Amino acid sequence: MPDSYLAGLEVLASVGIDQDDFRNRAAEVAPEFVRLAIGFTYGEIFNRPGLDLKVRMLVAIAAGTATGTAPGQLREHVQAALRLGWSEREIIEVMIQTAAHSGVPAALTALTDCHDLLAVRTRDSESCYDESSETGQA
């Protein structure tokens, strides 16, 4: 288990998730469980061979949007996905895709909860969400 935890910390660091935020409050009451959770989630599951870490992060966003009960973790995974090279547009499309499987409201909630993370960069450069180009597709 200590090995899983260390492996998990490495994965967290590699995707830019600040584990101190993650542990903050839960770790104050259950420090060992937070280490176990990091070991299981990031050291064991995210670290498995057979599927790219980058693709796994999309799966995490899809599952998080579908269940909708951990907006804080969803935000972490969105930030990690951006660092791993997914564009805001691709992440947005993952949330939209889940609307077909777990309902439109869950997708809208995820888009709203992560609004600042998904809109920030598009403001820096030219927006890729201008209505004209999208309407052209519809």
Whole-angstrom Cα distance, residue 132 to residue 36? Answer: 48
Site string for a copy of itself, 27-56 (x = CB under 8 A): -xxxxxxxxxx--xx--xxx-xxxx---xx
- Binding to a copy of itself, residues 80-99 (CB under 8 A): 88-90, 92-99
How many other CB atoms sit within 10 Å of the CB of residue 62? 18
In the chain, the N- to C-terminal Cα span, in Å, equals 51
Angle, CA 112 vertex, CA 101 and CA 69 arms, to 5°: 60
Least spacing, CB of residue 130 vs a copy of itself, in Å:
9
Tell me which of 20, 64, 78, 81 binds a copy of itself, using CB under 8 A: 64
- Is 12 a residue that touches a copy of itself (CB under 8 A)? no
The site that binds a copy of itself (CB under 8 A) totals a number of residues, namely: 74
- Binding to a copy of itself, residues 94-123 (CB under 8 A): 94-109, 111-112, 114-115, 118-119, 122
4 in Cβ contact with 43 (< 8 Å): yes
